[in-house]
Amino acid sequence: MTATQDPTPTQEARKRRSFLQVALTLGALGALSALFLLVPIDYEAVGGWGYLGVFVVVFIAT
């Protein structure tokens, strides 16, 4: 006969916290992606910044 080891409350809390962190991270990423699709970016103004402007837009969007 084999004994099954039930997860302790601490292990369950860690699993829930880990799942919650992943869900919140994915939600924040989706919200940022939607934000950049819905809010227009003035690329002419950003283009005046040169490479720094392109870097900032790409960095924030990803």
How confident is the model at residue 3, as a pLDDT? 59
How confident is the model at residue 24, as a pLDDT? 96
How confident is the model at residue 26, as a pLDDT? 94
- Containing 21, the helix (H) or strand (E) segment is helix 9-38
What's the distance, Cα to Cα, between the start and end of the chain in Å?
A: 52
Write the pLDDT tens digit of every residue in 1-36: 565 677 787 888 888 899 999 999 999 989 988 888
Share of the chain residues as helix, strand and coil, in percent rounded to the nearest 5: 75, 0, 25
CB 53 within 8 A of CB 47: yes
d(CA 62, CA 60): 5
- pTM for the complete prediction? 0.54
Write the pLDDT tens digit of every residue in 35-57: 888 888 777 776 677 788 778 87
